[in-house]
Structure 1
């Protein structure tokens, strides 16, 4: 009996081996090569805040930052980055319960093919563009205003557009554009193409300096990066989030060295002063901060670390 069982097992193994030899190979699953939709939601008091990714763009930061290139390269290497940094472009959607407020709109087609995803990610997050009541702009560089227009029409047809008057006066001026260097004229052209349709529709509402846009969302002047650069304070039930816009661009350098400025600044000295003030206040008071060019979703806390700061991204959290 023992030999009979052994013979059966041997025969079965031989048969299975033959089948394996003749069976077609099963191919590995193909790579998908897409990311999840680019939105991330947090609750802030009674408000819902949704970070929206416009995508990323490679920036040659060693050439753009105003410090020794070798020093910049070392800081980037220490953060496991190369000299060209995949830089996030973020917008933020605030639902106050009575108003839906969009802070910046991304680039659409104004800043290269890897950006332009705010509209699709807003939809993926469960909202429709026509639901947006108010759009507030930190400043009128193309990666912040380009998404105002889609297919030649207002991307947010029911929204009022709020921008500090210092920025509209500067970027919508043909005289300023004509006087600008050739490599800067595109910034004016992009701003005009994006904002003028709202001007023509009677939807542009300029403000000057510190201004409450809607209850719980306040503009705070932070002039320097552009003539009218503005940060936005979102506050509900004592919980605060300050959205910095372009007060900073390169986390691996500027948190340790807030004094380092960038070539995109209109007034480097003023931009540096505003950044240093904002960093110190955020670290002292412990509120949440968000920025356009922090790695998505770009929200967290700042703590003092010697002469510099450490950014602590928010922990992933469920909402139920």
Structure 2
């Protein structure tokens, strides 16, 4: 007489101390995350966050204007510890007539951890050849290193940023920490210069319908943020305004050794945090945990990060 499933399971439990029940073959571990892209609609614009990967961010050695003990405490309060994995995010804007990529990730410059942006772009349904324009917030390796992968794009950034990183004398005067950043910047823009598709903008302001470049100096001399607007909705792609949110939101004066001007970086961060909170902008952040999309709010004297609610409903226009 056959046992029903109910009685079989009961017999299995009772016999467990004596002999194991039937088991299934163990499934192999994947050891990979899902493709790193996430989409939202901003009015008529489709915005896709793209992960280039994560890398250990050396909080204990590069954070300045905050003690290592205080930095570690803030991480602990956020249930984080060293080594801290930092995200590298870029953002693709489909305006309906153009495909515009803001920042390009590190490419091969950070090793195996990163350089995943193109694969994730493809997973999101696009090809590198389709990108019409690239807007760089700045020319650091993790924002410009992937630029050569887009053969048909026009490369745009502020003229002040281009002038600083493409001038040999500036490399000689820069801290040793940044010496290789000059070489990487030149390698990033060289294909665009050769093809006649390198077009820095001399003045901040509108670049495209619904897209405005804002000056955000301090982390680098010509650092730009980009305000995206459609149908009354606004999103700020702010680049490197914040590197480590659990530290720099409660302590906006905390800086990093990569900043070209600590004072300017502090002033720019204070200004944009205040504006983002007051105007309820969606913020697209390069180094806040992927997808790096959320709001800034002021609460009990400190700024906080409120990530956008995850949404798998169909991406449709309002």
Q: How does the TM-score come out when normalised to structure 1?
A: 0.89
| Structure 1 range deviating more: 174-183 or 202-211 | 174-183
Conserved? CA contact 2:158–2:204, under 8 Å: no
Answering whether residue 231 of structure 2 is matched by residue 237 of structure 1, we say: yes
- Please give the secondary structure, in 1, of the residue aligned with 2:229: strand
Q: 2:49 maps to what in 1?
A: 51
Distance 1:162 1:250, change over 3 A: same
Q: 1:187 maps to what in 2?
A: 181
Shift of 1:22: 12
- Please give the secondary structure, in 1, of the residue aligned with 2:79: coil
Conserved? CA contact 1:258–1:308, under 8 Å: no
Shift of 1:213: 1.7
Q: 1:108 maps to what in 2?
A: 107
Answering whether residue 279 of structure 2 is matched by residue 279 of structure 1, we say: no
Q: 2:310 maps to what in 1?
A: 316
Q: 1:124 maps to what in 2?
A: 123
Residues 224-263 of structure 1 aligned to structure 2 (within 5 Å): 224-263=218-257
Q: 1:29 maps to what in 2?
A: 27
Residues 155-174 of structure 1 aligned to structure 2 (within 5 Å): 155-174=149-168
5+ residue gaps, structure 1, are: 150-154
- Please give the secondary structure, in 1, of the residue aligned with 2:40: strand
Shift of 1:62: 2.2
Aligned counterpart in structure 1 of residue 171 of structure 2, from 171, 177, 186? 177
- Separation (CA, whole Å) in 1 of partners of 2:271 and 2:301: 14
- Separation (CA, whole Å) in 1 of partners of 2:164 and 2:243: 22
Shift of 1:209: 3.8
Q: 1:270 maps to what in 2?
A: 264
Answering whether residue 36 of structure 2 is matched by residue 42 of structure 1, we say: no
- Separation (CA, whole Å) in 2 of partners of 1:22 and 1:309: 54
Distance 1:23 1:281, change over 3 A: closer
Residues 11-30 of structure 1 aligned to structure 2 (within 5 Å): 26-30=24-28
- Structural RMSD (CA): 2.2
- Please give the secondary structure, in 2, of the residue aligned with 1:58: strand
Conserved? CA contact 1:231–1:245, under 8 Å: yes
- Separation (CA, whole Å) in 2 of partners of 1:302 and 1:164: 26
Q: 2:192 maps to what in 1?
A: 198
| Structure 1 range deviating more: 199-208 or 95-104 | 199-208
Higher Rg: 1
Distance 1:30 1:219, change over 3 A: same
Deviations 1:35-92 (A, max 9, x none): 0000000000001000000000101112211111111111111111113210000000
Distance 1:120 1:304, change over 3 A: same
Shift of 1:180: 3.0
| Structure 1 range deviating more: 222-231 or 75-84 | 75-84
Deviations 1:99-127 (A, max 9, x none): 11000000011123201011111110001
Deviations 1:229-255 (A, max 9, x none): 000001001100001100110010111
Q: 2:67 maps to what in 1?
A: 68
Conserved? CA contact 1:132–1:159, under 8 Å: yes
Shift of 1:291: 0.8
5+ residue gaps, structure 2, are: none
Deviations 1:148-204 (A, max 9, x none): 12xxxxx21111110101111111112222333443211011111111111111111
- Separation (CA, whole Å) in 2 of partners of 1:53 and 1:292: 9
Deviations 1:5-36 (A, max 9, x none): 9xxx9xxx9xxx9xxx8999643112111100
Residues 208-219 of structure 1 aligned to structure 2 (within 5 Å): 208-219=202-213
**Equivalent residues, number:** 301
- Separation (CA, whole Å) in 1 of partners of 2:221 and 2:275: 22
Q: How does the TM-score come out when normalised to structure 2?
A: 0.90
